[in-house]
Structure 1
Amino acid sequence: MPEPIDEAAISALMPELRAVMREAADIARPYFREGGQTTARIWSKAGGSPVTEADVAVDTFLKIRLSELVPRAAWLSEETADDPARIGRDLVWIVDPIDGTRAFLSGHPDWSIAVALLSQGEPLIGFVHAPALGTAYEAVRGRGATRDGAPIAASEPSALRGARITGPKPMLDRLTRGAGPDPDFTRIERIPSLALRLVRVADGSVDVGLVSSDARDWDLAAADLVLREAGGTVCDLAGQPTIYNKAVPVHGELLAAPSSLRDPVLAAWGGRGRTV
Protein backbone atom coordinates (compact mmCIF):
# COMPACT_ATOMS: atom_id res chain seq x y z
CA MET A 1 0.00 0.00 0.00
CA PRO A 2 1.37 3.48 -0.84
CA GLU A 3 2.57 5.55 2.08
CA PRO A 4 0.11 8.18 3.38
CA ILE A 5 0.87 11.76 2.42
CA ASP A 6 3.17 13.18 5.10
CA GLU A 7 2.97 16.40 7.11
CA ALA A 8 5.65 18.19 5.10
CA ALA A 9 3.89 17.36 1.84
CA ILE A 10 0.60 18.66 3.23
CA SER A 11 2.22 21.94 4.29
CA ALA A 12 3.74 22.37 0.84
CA LEU A 13 0.45 21.55 -0.84
CA MET A 14 -1.78 24.00 1.04
CA PRO A 15 -0.68 27.27 -0.65
CA GLU A 16 -1.15 25.67 -4.06
CA LEU A 17 -4.58 24.39 -3.11
CA ARG A 18 -5.63 27.84 -1.90
CA ALA A 19 -4.61 29.26 -5.27
CA VAL A 20 -6.59 26.56 -7.08
CA MET A 21 -9.69 27.33 -4.99
CA ARG A 22 -9.38 31.04 -5.79
CA GLU A 23 -9.14 30.25 -9.51
CA ALA A 24 -12.18 27.96 -9.29
CA ALA A 25 -14.14 30.76 -7.62
CA ASP A 26 -13.06 33.14 -10.39
CA ILE A 27 -14.45 30.71 -12.98
CA ALA A 28 -17.84 30.37 -11.26
CA ARG A 29 -18.41 33.94 -10.11
CA PRO A 30 -19.09 35.61 -13.51
CA TYR A 31 -22.04 33.27 -14.10
CA PHE A 32 -23.72 34.27 -10.83
CA ARG A 33 -26.17 37.17 -10.57
CA GLU A 34 -27.16 37.99 -7.00
CA GLY A 35 -30.93 38.28 -6.78
CA GLY A 36 -31.35 37.23 -10.41
CA GLN A 37 -31.14 34.31 -12.80
CA THR A 38 -27.71 32.92 -13.67
CA THR A 39 -26.21 33.72 -17.06
CA ALA A 40 -25.02 30.11 -17.40
CA ARG A 41 -26.65 27.60 -19.72
CA ILE A 42 -28.79 25.11 -17.77
CA TRP A 43 -29.86 21.54 -18.45
CA SER A 44 -31.18 18.59 -16.42
CA LYS A 45 -29.27 15.50 -15.37
CA ALA A 46 -30.78 12.05 -15.07
CA GLY A 47 -33.24 12.32 -12.20
CA GLY A 48 -34.12 15.91 -13.04
CA SER A 49 -31.60 17.85 -10.95
CA PRO A 50 -30.19 20.95 -12.67
CA VAL A 51 -26.64 21.42 -13.86
CA THR A 52 -25.08 24.47 -15.47
CA GLU A 53 -22.10 25.21 -17.63
CA ALA A 54 -20.53 26.77 -14.54
CA ASP A 55 -20.66 23.39 -12.72
CA VAL A 56 -18.96 21.71 -15.66
CA ALA A 57 -16.35 24.42 -16.13
CA VAL A 58 -15.35 24.39 -12.45
CA ASP A 59 -15.35 20.59 -12.33
CA THR A 60 -13.14 20.31 -15.40
CA PHE A 61 -10.71 22.90 -14.05
CA LEU A 62 -10.48 21.22 -10.64
CA LYS A 63 -9.98 17.74 -12.07
CA ILE A 64 -7.05 18.94 -14.15
CA ARG A 65 -5.39 21.04 -11.46
CA LEU A 66 -5.96 18.76 -8.47
CA SER A 67 -4.83 15.72 -10.42
CA GLU A 68 -1.64 17.58 -11.30
CA LEU A 69 -1.02 18.41 -7.63
CA VAL A 70 -1.63 14.86 -6.33
CA PRO A 71 -1.37 12.52 -9.34
CA ARG A 72 -1.92 9.31 -7.36
CA ALA A 73 -5.23 10.47 -5.88
CA ALA A 74 -8.45 8.97 -7.29
CA TRP A 75 -11.45 11.17 -8.11
CA LEU A 76 -15.09 11.40 -7.04
CA SER A 77 -17.15 14.39 -8.16
CA GLU A 78 -20.79 15.27 -8.65
CA GLU A 79 -20.21 16.17 -12.29
CA THR A 80 -17.86 13.37 -13.38
CA ALA A 81 -18.83 9.78 -14.22
CA ASP A 82 -17.92 7.60 -11.27
CA ASP A 83 -14.87 5.38 -11.66
CA PRO A 84 -15.03 2.30 -9.38
CA ALA A 85 -11.23 2.28 -9.33
CA ARG A 86 -11.48 4.82 -6.48
CA ILE A 87 -12.65 2.10 -4.07
CA GLY A 88 -9.87 1.19 -1.69
CA ARG A 89 -7.49 3.88 -2.93
CA ASP A 90 -5.44 5.54 -0.20
CA LEU A 91 -6.00 9.07 -1.56
CA VAL A 92 -9.22 10.34 -3.15
CA TRP A 93 -10.35 13.83 -4.17
CA ILE A 94 -14.02 14.44 -3.30
CA VAL A 95 -15.36 17.48 -5.18
CA ASP A 96 -18.57 19.43 -5.55
CA PRO A 97 -17.89 22.17 -8.12
CA ILE A 98 -21.04 24.07 -7.09
CA ASP A 99 -22.84 22.92 -3.96
CA GLY A 100 -26.26 24.55 -3.88
CA THR A 101 -26.83 24.72 -7.62
CA ARG A 102 -30.45 25.83 -7.22
CA ALA A 103 -29.30 28.77 -5.10
CA PHE A 104 -26.67 29.60 -7.72
CA LEU A 105 -29.35 29.48 -10.41
CA SER A 106 -31.74 31.83 -8.61
CA GLY A 107 -29.26 34.42 -7.34
CA HIS A 108 -29.09 33.29 -3.69
CA PRO A 109 -25.50 33.74 -2.41
CA ASP A 110 -25.44 30.58 -0.27
CA TRP A 111 -23.64 28.30 -2.74
CA SER A 112 -20.13 26.97 -2.41
CA ILE A 113 -17.25 25.08 -3.96
CA ALA A 114 -16.29 22.10 -1.79
CA VAL A 115 -13.08 20.09 -2.12
CA ALA A 116 -11.78 17.37 0.19
CA LEU A 117 -8.81 15.04 0.00
CA LEU A 118 -9.45 11.70 1.67
CA SER A 119 -6.57 9.70 3.11
CA GLN A 120 -7.29 6.08 3.95
CA GLY A 121 -11.03 6.78 3.95
CA GLU A 122 -10.98 9.86 6.20
CA PRO A 123 -10.97 13.54 5.21
CA LEU A 124 -7.43 14.89 5.45
CA ILE A 125 -7.84 18.33 3.82
CA GLY A 126 -11.07 20.27 3.37
CA PHE A 127 -11.95 23.52 1.61
CA VAL A 128 -15.38 25.16 1.43
CA HIS A 129 -15.40 28.47 -0.46
CA ALA A 130 -18.47 30.68 -0.85
CA PRO A 131 -17.49 32.95 -3.78
CA ALA A 132 -20.60 35.14 -3.67
CA LEU A 133 -19.95 35.87 0.00
CA GLY A 134 -16.17 36.17 -0.26
CA THR A 135 -15.77 33.59 2.50
CA ALA A 136 -13.34 30.68 2.65
CA TYR A 137 -13.22 27.83 5.18
CA GLU A 138 -10.44 25.29 5.37
CA ALA A 139 -9.12 22.54 7.60
CA VAL A 140 -6.33 20.00 7.81
CA ARG A 141 -6.75 16.95 10.02
CA GLY A 142 -5.18 17.64 13.40
CA ARG A 143 -4.44 21.31 12.65
CA GLY A 144 -7.76 23.00 13.39
CA ALA A 145 -10.14 24.91 11.13
CA THR A 146 -10.22 28.48 9.85
CA ARG A 147 -12.56 30.95 8.22
CA ASP A 148 -10.76 33.52 6.06
CA GLY A 149 -7.53 32.55 7.81
CA ALA A 150 -8.80 33.04 11.38
CA PRO A 151 -9.31 30.05 13.70
CA ILE A 152 -12.92 29.02 14.29
CA ALA A 153 -14.67 26.87 16.88
CA ALA A 154 -18.14 25.44 17.19
CA SER A 155 -20.35 26.75 19.96
CA GLU A 156 -20.29 24.94 23.30
CA PRO A 157 -23.84 25.04 24.68
CA SER A 158 -24.46 22.85 27.69
CA ALA A 159 -28.09 22.09 26.75
CA LEU A 160 -30.24 21.83 23.66
CA ARG A 161 -32.80 24.37 24.88
CA GLY A 162 -32.49 27.64 22.98
CA ALA A 163 -30.36 26.15 20.21
CA ARG A 164 -30.15 27.78 16.80
CA ILE A 165 -31.15 25.08 14.33
CA THR A 166 -31.50 24.80 10.56
CA GLY A 167 -32.48 22.15 8.07
CA PRO A 168 -35.53 20.58 6.41
CA LYS A 169 -38.80 21.45 8.15
CA PRO A 170 -39.93 17.83 8.76
CA MET A 171 -36.68 17.10 10.57
CA LEU A 172 -36.86 20.33 12.56
CA ASP A 173 -40.43 19.53 13.57
CA ARG A 174 -39.48 16.06 14.79
CA LEU A 175 -36.54 17.42 16.76
CA THR A 176 -38.77 20.08 18.32
CA ARG A 177 -41.39 17.52 19.36
CA GLY A 178 -38.76 15.26 20.89
CA ALA A 179 -36.97 18.02 22.79
CA GLY A 180 -39.65 18.30 25.46
CA PRO A 181 -41.88 21.24 26.42
CA ASP A 182 -40.83 24.72 25.33
CA PRO A 183 -37.44 23.95 23.71
CA ASP A 184 -37.24 27.62 22.67
CA PHE A 185 -35.34 26.85 19.46
CA THR A 186 -34.36 29.61 17.07
CA ARG A 187 -35.10 28.32 13.59
CA ILE A 188 -32.68 29.64 11.00
CA GLU A 189 -33.74 29.77 7.37
CA ARG A 190 -32.64 26.65 5.54
CA ILE A 191 -29.16 27.02 4.05
CA PRO A 192 -29.22 25.74 0.45
CA SER A 193 -25.60 24.54 0.33
CA LEU A 194 -25.12 21.52 2.60
CA ALA A 195 -21.42 22.33 2.88
CA LEU A 196 -22.25 25.83 4.13
CA ARG A 197 -24.84 24.41 6.52
CA LEU A 198 -22.11 22.34 8.17
CA VAL A 199 -19.39 24.98 8.25
CA ARG A 200 -21.77 27.44 9.90
CA VAL A 201 -22.01 24.98 12.75
CA ALA A 202 -18.21 24.95 12.71
CA ASP A 203 -17.94 28.75 13.03
CA GLY A 204 -20.57 28.91 15.79
CA SER A 205 -23.25 30.81 13.87
CA VAL A 206 -25.51 27.72 13.92
CA ASP A 207 -25.81 25.18 16.73
CA VAL A 208 -27.50 22.26 14.96
CA GLY A 209 -27.68 21.55 11.24
CA LEU A 210 -29.94 18.77 9.97
CA VAL A 211 -29.47 17.04 6.62
CA SER A 212 -32.16 14.97 4.89
CA SER A 213 -31.38 11.60 3.33
CA ASP A 214 -29.67 11.29 -0.07
CA ALA A 215 -26.74 13.64 0.58
CA ARG A 216 -23.60 12.54 -1.25
CA ASP A 217 -19.94 12.42 -0.29
CA TRP A 218 -19.23 15.58 -2.28
CA ASP A 219 -21.85 17.53 -0.32
CA LEU A 220 -20.29 16.60 3.01
CA ALA A 221 -16.66 15.51 3.14
CA ALA A 222 -14.89 18.89 3.07
CA ALA A 223 -17.31 20.54 5.52
CA ASP A 224 -17.27 17.47 7.76
CA LEU A 225 -13.54 17.93 8.31
CA VAL A 226 -13.94 21.66 8.97
CA LEU A 227 -16.56 20.86 11.61
CA ARG A 228 -14.53 18.06 13.21
CA GLU A 229 -11.52 20.33 13.48
CA ALA A 230 -13.69 23.08 14.99
CA GLY A 231 -14.94 20.79 17.77
CA GLY A 232 -18.08 19.36 16.23
CA THR A 233 -19.36 16.18 14.65
CA VAL A 234 -21.36 14.88 11.72
CA CYS A 235 -23.17 11.60 12.30
CA ASP A 236 -26.31 9.72 11.39
CA LEU A 237 -29.33 9.73 13.66
CA ALA A 238 -28.18 6.55 15.33
CA GLY A 239 -24.94 8.32 16.28
CA GLN A 240 -22.71 6.61 13.72
CA PRO A 241 -20.03 8.75 12.03
CA THR A 242 -20.12 9.37 8.30
CA ILE A 243 -18.18 6.92 6.14
CA TYR A 244 -16.78 8.09 2.81
CA ASN A 245 -15.75 6.53 -0.49
CA LYS A 246 -18.20 3.64 -0.31
CA ALA A 247 -19.28 1.95 -3.53
CA VAL A 248 -22.50 3.98 -3.33
CA PRO A 249 -21.51 7.36 -1.83
CA VAL A 250 -24.99 8.20 -0.51
CA HIS A 251 -25.98 8.98 3.09
CA GLY A 252 -29.15 8.83 5.17
CA GLU A 253 -30.39 11.55 7.51
CA LEU A 254 -27.57 13.30 9.33
CA LEU A 255 -26.96 15.85 12.04
CA ALA A 256 -24.15 18.35 12.46
CA ALA A 257 -23.59 19.74 15.92
CA PRO A 258 -20.98 20.75 18.48
CA SER A 259 -19.72 17.72 20.37
CA SER A 260 -21.56 18.93 23.49
CA LEU A 261 -24.92 18.71 21.69
CA ARG A 262 -24.50 15.40 19.89
CA ASP A 263 -26.10 13.25 22.58
CA PRO A 264 -28.90 15.73 23.46
CA VAL A 265 -29.87 15.95 19.77
CA LEU A 266 -29.86 12.17 19.40
CA ALA A 267 -31.99 11.82 22.53
CA ALA A 268 -34.48 14.41 21.28
CA TRP A 269 -34.62 12.76 17.88
CA GLY A 270 -35.58 9.53 19.63
CA GLY A 271 -38.25 11.36 21.64
CA ARG A 272 -36.33 11.14 24.90
CA GLY A 273 -35.15 14.74 25.11
CA ARG A 274 -35.40 16.88 28.21
CA THR A 275 -34.65 20.56 27.88
CA VAL A 276 -32.93 22.20 30.81
Structure 2
Amino acid sequence: MTDPISADFVHALMPDLREALREAASLALPFFKEGGHTSAKIWSKAGGSPVTEADVAVDTFLKIRLSQIVPEAAWLSEETADDAERIGHDLVWIVDPIDGTRAFLSGHRDWSIAVALLKAGEPVVGFVNAPALGHDYEAIRGRGATRNGAAIAAARDAALPTARVTGPKPMIDRLERGVSRDRAEPAFDRIDRIPSLALRVARVAEGSVDVGLVSSDARDWDLAAADLILREAGGSVCDMAGVATVYNRPDPVHGELIAVPHGLRDGVVAAWAKGR
Protein backbone atom coordinates (compact mmCIF):
# COMPACT_ATOMS: atom_id res chain seq x y z
CA MET A 1 0.00 0.00 0.00
CA THR A 2 1.27 3.52 -0.80
CA ASP A 3 2.50 5.44 2.24
CA PRO A 4 -0.24 8.05 2.76
CA ILE A 5 2.18 10.64 4.14
CA SER A 6 5.22 10.41 1.88
CA ALA A 7 6.22 13.48 -0.11
CA ASP A 8 5.58 11.60 -3.34
CA PHE A 9 2.09 10.65 -2.21
CA VAL A 10 1.32 14.25 -1.22
CA HIS A 11 2.71 15.49 -4.54
CA ALA A 12 0.35 13.13 -6.36
CA LEU A 13 -2.60 14.65 -4.48
CA MET A 14 -1.84 18.21 -5.56
CA PRO A 15 -3.94 18.32 -8.76
CA ASP A 16 -7.03 17.20 -6.83
CA LEU A 17 -6.28 19.61 -3.99
CA ARG A 18 -5.78 22.53 -6.37
CA GLU A 19 -9.09 21.75 -8.04
CA ALA A 20 -10.80 21.60 -4.63
CA LEU A 21 -9.41 25.04 -3.74
CA ARG A 22 -10.55 26.46 -7.09
CA GLU A 23 -14.05 25.11 -6.54
CA ALA A 24 -14.11 26.50 -3.01
CA ALA A 25 -13.09 29.92 -4.34
CA SER A 26 -15.87 29.75 -6.93
CA LEU A 27 -18.38 29.27 -4.11
CA ALA A 28 -17.13 32.30 -2.15
CA LEU A 29 -16.45 34.85 -4.91
CA PRO A 30 -20.08 35.48 -5.98
CA PHE A 31 -20.78 36.80 -2.45
CA PHE A 32 -17.76 39.14 -2.46
CA LYS A 33 -18.28 42.75 -3.57
CA GLU A 34 -14.98 44.61 -3.89
CA GLY A 35 -15.25 47.97 -2.14
CA GLY A 36 -18.79 47.21 -0.98
CA HIS A 37 -20.77 45.09 1.44
CA THR A 38 -21.15 41.36 0.84
CA SER A 39 -24.38 39.97 -0.54
CA ALA A 40 -24.08 36.97 1.79
CA LYS A 41 -26.33 36.37 4.77
CA ILE A 42 -24.52 37.07 8.04
CA TRP A 43 -24.85 35.62 11.54
CA SER A 44 -22.99 36.25 14.79
CA LYS A 45 -21.19 33.37 16.48
CA ALA A 46 -20.71 33.02 20.21
CA GLY A 47 -18.40 35.85 21.17
CA GLY A 48 -19.79 38.13 18.47
CA SER A 49 -17.55 37.28 15.51
CA PRO A 50 -19.36 37.16 12.16
CA VAL A 51 -19.96 34.17 9.93
CA THR A 52 -21.54 34.27 6.49
CA GLU A 53 -23.30 31.80 4.25
CA ALA A 54 -20.12 31.85 2.15
CA ASP A 55 -18.08 30.55 5.12
CA VAL A 56 -20.58 27.77 5.66
CA ALA A 57 -20.79 26.82 1.98
CA VAL A 58 -16.99 26.64 1.59
CA ASP A 59 -16.59 24.71 4.84
CA THR A 60 -19.24 22.16 3.88
CA PHE A 61 -17.79 21.69 0.42
CA LEU A 62 -14.21 21.29 1.62
CA LYS A 63 -15.14 18.84 4.37
CA ILE A 64 -16.80 16.58 1.81
CA ARG A 65 -14.18 17.00 -0.90
CA LEU A 66 -11.03 16.78 1.25
CA SER A 67 -12.42 13.77 3.08
CA GLN A 68 -12.76 12.06 -0.28
CA ILE A 69 -9.16 12.90 -1.22
CA VAL A 70 -7.65 11.70 2.10
CA PRO A 71 -10.35 9.75 3.93
CA GLU A 72 -7.95 8.72 6.72
CA ALA A 73 -7.64 12.32 7.93
CA ALA A 74 -9.55 13.81 10.86
CA TRP A 75 -10.97 17.33 10.65
CA LEU A 76 -10.56 20.70 12.38
CA SER A 77 -12.02 23.90 10.97
CA GLU A 78 -13.30 27.25 12.13
CA GLU A 79 -16.89 26.54 11.13
CA THR A 80 -17.29 22.93 12.28
CA ALA A 81 -17.79 21.81 15.88
CA ASP A 82 -14.52 20.42 17.21
CA ASP A 83 -14.37 16.63 17.43
CA ALA A 84 -12.01 15.23 20.08
CA GLU A 85 -11.30 12.32 17.73
CA ARG A 86 -8.67 14.50 16.05
CA ILE A 87 -6.48 14.49 19.17
CA GLY A 88 -3.66 12.06 18.61
CA HIS A 89 -4.93 11.33 15.10
CA ASP A 90 -2.05 10.86 12.69
CA LEU A 91 -3.53 12.84 9.78
CA VAL A 92 -5.71 15.94 10.23
CA TRP A 93 -7.15 18.49 7.82
CA ILE A 94 -6.94 22.03 9.22
CA VAL A 95 -9.24 24.43 7.36
CA ASP A 96 -10.30 28.06 7.49
CA PRO A 97 -13.03 28.43 4.85
CA ILE A 98 -12.68 32.23 4.84
CA ASP A 99 -9.81 33.73 6.81
CA GLY A 100 -10.45 37.43 7.20
CA THR A 101 -14.25 37.30 7.26
CA ARG A 102 -14.56 40.98 8.21
CA ALA A 103 -12.48 41.93 5.16
CA PHE A 104 -14.71 39.70 3.03
CA LEU A 105 -17.78 41.43 4.49
CA SER A 106 -16.53 44.95 3.78
CA GLY A 107 -15.15 44.41 0.28
CA HIS A 108 -11.44 44.36 1.23
CA ARG A 109 -9.54 41.92 -1.01
CA ASP A 110 -7.24 40.58 1.74
CA TRP A 111 -9.17 37.43 2.64
CA SER A 112 -8.22 33.86 1.91
CA ILE A 113 -9.10 30.18 2.03
CA ALA A 114 -6.53 28.22 4.04
CA VAL A 115 -6.08 24.44 3.99
CA ALA A 116 -3.36 22.34 5.63
CA LEU A 117 -2.85 18.61 6.01
CA LEU A 118 -1.06 17.66 9.23
CA LYS A 119 0.97 14.54 9.91
CA ALA A 120 1.69 13.92 13.61
CA GLY A 121 0.98 17.58 14.37
CA GLU A 122 3.22 18.97 11.61
CA PRO A 123 1.90 20.46 8.34
CA VAL A 124 2.94 18.46 5.27
CA VAL A 125 0.89 20.35 2.69
CA GLY A 126 -0.44 23.88 2.80
CA PHE A 127 -2.59 26.08 0.58
CA VAL A 128 -3.50 29.74 1.01
CA ASN A 129 -5.79 30.86 -1.79
CA ALA A 130 -6.63 34.58 -2.07
CA PRO A 131 -9.42 34.54 -4.68
CA ALA A 132 -10.02 38.30 -4.85
CA LEU A 133 -6.32 38.87 -5.53
CA GLY A 134 -5.74 35.91 -7.82
CA HIS A 135 -2.92 34.65 -5.59
CA ASP A 136 -2.44 30.95 -4.86
CA TYR A 137 0.26 30.03 -2.33
CA GLU A 138 1.16 26.41 -1.76
CA ALA A 139 3.84 24.22 -0.20
CA ILE A 140 4.75 20.59 0.31
CA ARG A 141 7.07 19.81 3.20
CA GLY A 142 10.60 19.50 1.87
CA ARG A 143 9.72 20.71 -1.64
CA GLY A 144 9.63 24.49 -1.35
CA ALA A 145 6.87 27.09 -1.58
CA THR A 146 5.27 28.86 -4.53
CA ARG A 147 2.90 31.66 -5.43
CA ASN A 148 0.99 31.04 -8.64
CA GLY A 149 3.50 28.33 -9.48
CA ALA A 150 6.64 30.48 -9.07
CA ALA A 151 9.09 29.77 -6.24
CA ILE A 152 9.05 32.26 -3.35
CA ALA A 153 11.50 32.99 -0.56
CA ALA A 154 11.38 35.02 2.65
CA ALA A 155 13.65 38.09 2.79
CA ARG A 156 17.24 37.07 3.52
CA ASP A 157 18.90 40.49 3.83
CA ALA A 158 16.36 42.47 5.87
CA ALA A 159 17.65 44.48 8.83
CA LEU A 160 15.42 44.81 11.88
CA PRO A 161 15.62 48.60 12.40
CA THR A 162 14.30 49.24 8.88
CA ALA A 163 12.20 46.08 8.47
CA ARG A 164 8.78 46.05 6.83
CA VAL A 165 6.51 45.14 9.74
CA THR A 166 2.78 44.46 9.91
CA GLY A 167 0.39 43.49 12.68
CA PRO A 168 -1.44 45.07 15.62
CA LYS A 169 -0.14 48.57 16.44
CA PRO A 170 0.56 47.83 20.14
CA MET A 171 2.78 44.91 19.15
CA ILE A 172 4.67 46.98 16.55
CA ASP A 173 5.12 49.76 19.15
CA ARG A 174 6.62 47.31 21.64
CA LEU A 175 8.97 45.85 19.05
CA GLU A 176 10.08 49.35 18.07
CA ARG A 177 10.76 50.25 21.70
CA GLY A 178 13.00 47.22 21.95
CA VAL A 179 14.96 48.30 18.89
CA SER A 180 15.16 51.95 19.99
CA ARG A 181 17.27 50.99 23.00
CA ASP A 182 20.06 50.21 20.56
CA ARG A 183 19.38 52.93 17.95
CA ALA A 184 18.48 56.59 18.12
CA GLU A 185 15.84 56.46 15.40
CA PRO A 186 14.28 53.11 14.53
CA ALA A 187 12.49 53.42 11.24
CA PHE A 188 10.22 50.46 10.71
CA ASP A 189 8.32 50.52 7.45
CA ARG A 190 4.88 49.96 8.90
CA ILE A 191 2.72 47.96 6.49
CA ASP A 192 -1.05 48.30 6.83
CA ARG A 193 -2.45 45.50 8.93
CA ILE A 194 -3.40 42.51 6.77
CA PRO A 195 -6.83 41.22 7.88
CA SER A 196 -6.22 37.58 6.94
CA LEU A 197 -3.63 36.01 9.25
CA ALA A 198 -2.89 33.38 6.62
CA LEU A 199 -2.09 36.12 4.09
CA ARG A 200 -0.03 38.02 6.67
CA VAL A 201 2.20 34.98 7.07
CA ALA A 202 2.21 34.20 3.34
CA ARG A 203 3.50 37.70 2.58
CA VAL A 204 6.44 37.10 4.88
CA ALA A 205 7.01 33.90 2.90
CA GLU A 206 7.01 35.76 -0.43
CA GLY A 207 9.33 38.49 0.89
CA SER A 208 6.97 41.46 0.61
CA VAL A 209 6.81 41.73 4.43
CA ASP A 210 9.75 41.10 6.78
CA VAL A 211 7.95 40.64 10.12
CA GLY A 212 4.33 39.65 10.68
CA LEU A 213 3.07 40.03 14.25
CA VAL A 214 0.07 38.02 15.46
CA SER A 215 -1.87 38.87 18.61
CA SER A 216 -2.98 36.19 21.04
CA ASP A 217 -6.08 34.11 20.31
CA ALA A 218 -5.18 32.97 16.78
CA ARG A 219 -6.26 29.41 15.99
CA ASP A 220 -4.66 26.48 14.19
CA TRP A 221 -6.82 27.14 11.12
CA ASP A 222 -5.50 30.71 10.83
CA LEU A 223 -1.89 29.58 10.77
CA ALA A 224 -1.07 25.99 9.86
CA ALA A 225 -1.21 26.26 6.06
CA ALA A 226 0.67 29.56 5.87
CA ASP A 227 3.21 28.39 8.45
CA LEU A 228 4.26 25.53 6.18
CA ILE A 229 4.52 27.93 3.24
CA LEU A 230 6.78 30.17 5.34
CA ARG A 231 8.86 27.23 6.60
CA GLU A 232 9.46 26.13 3.03
CA ALA A 233 10.33 29.71 2.04
CA GLY A 234 12.96 30.12 4.76
CA GLY A 235 11.18 31.29 7.91
CA SER A 236 8.75 30.18 10.60
CA VAL A 237 5.86 31.11 12.84
CA CYS A 238 7.08 31.04 16.44
CA ASP A 239 6.22 32.39 19.87
CA MET A 240 7.93 35.36 21.47
CA ALA A 241 10.71 33.12 22.77
CA GLY A 242 11.43 31.78 19.29
CA VAL A 243 9.77 28.39 19.84
CA ALA A 244 8.10 26.94 16.74
CA THR A 245 4.32 26.66 16.69
CA VAL A 246 2.74 23.27 17.43
CA TYR A 247 -0.59 22.21 15.95
CA ASN A 248 -3.47 19.84 16.75
CA ARG A 249 -3.26 20.22 20.50
CA PRO A 250 -6.43 19.79 22.57
CA ASP A 251 -6.79 23.58 22.65
CA PRO A 252 -6.00 24.99 19.18
CA VAL A 253 -5.61 28.57 20.50
CA HIS A 254 -2.23 30.32 20.42
CA GLY A 255 -0.59 33.20 22.26
CA GLU A 256 1.30 36.08 20.66
CA LEU A 257 3.33 34.96 17.66
CA ILE A 258 5.86 36.17 15.08
CA ALA A 259 6.08 35.23 11.41
CA VAL A 260 9.66 35.95 10.42
CA PRO A 261 12.53 34.86 8.16
CA HIS A 262 15.14 32.72 9.92
CA GLY A 263 17.72 35.51 9.77
CA LEU A 264 15.55 37.99 11.68
CA ARG A 265 14.08 35.66 14.31
CA ASP A 266 16.70 36.09 17.05
CA GLY A 267 16.76 39.87 16.61
CA VAL A 268 12.98 40.12 16.84
CA VAL A 269 12.87 37.90 19.93
CA ALA A 270 15.56 40.02 21.64
CA ALA A 271 13.89 43.32 20.70
CA TRP A 272 10.51 42.04 21.92
CA ALA A 273 11.99 41.20 25.32
CA LYS A 274 13.59 44.65 25.58
CA GLY A 275 10.43 46.49 24.59
CA ARG A 276 8.43 45.82 27.73
TM-score, scaled relative to structure 1 = 0.96
CA deviations on 1:103-123 (whole Å, 9 max, x unpaired) are 000000000000000011100
% identical equivalent positions: 72
154-163 or 113-122, which moves further after superposition? Answer: 154-163
Match of 2:103 in 1: 103
Match of 1:174 in 2: 174
Q: CA separation in 2, counterparts of 1:254 and 1:5?
A: 28
192-201 or 7-16, which moves further after superposition? Answer: 7-16
Match of 2:124 in 1: 124
Match of 1:202 in 2: 205
Q: 2:266 aligns with which of 219, 238, 263?
A: 263
Q: CA separation in 1, counterparts of 2:78 and 2:21?
A: 17
Match of 2:232 in 1: 229
Would you say the 8 A contact 1:175–1:268 is kept in 2? yes
Deviation at 1:10, TM superposition (A): 1.2
Would you say the 8 A contact 1:76–1:218 is kept in 2? yes
Q: 2:248 aligns with which of 238, 245, 260?
A: 245
Would you say the 8 A contact 1:32–1:38 is kept in 2? yes
What amino acid sits opposite 1:179 in the alignment?
V
Unpaired runs of 5+ residues, structure 2, are: none
Return closer, same or farther for 1:98/1:158 CA change in 2, 3 Å cut-off. closer
Q: CA separation in 1, counterparts of 2:273 and 2:6?
A: 42
Would you say the 8 A contact 2:166–2:213 is kept in 1? yes
Would you say the 8 A contact 1:75–1:92 is kept in 2? yes
Would you say the 8 A contact 2:7–2:141 is kept in 1? no
Q: For this pair of structures, how many residues does the alignment match?
A: 272
Would you say the 8 A contact 1:4–1:90 is kept in 2? no
Q: 1:187 aligns with which of 186, 190, 194?
A: 190
Deviation at 1:179, TM superposition (A): 0.5
Match of 1:14 in 2: 14
Unpaired runs of 5+ residues, structure 1, are: none
Q: CA separation in 2, counterparts of 1:185 and 1:158?
A: 11
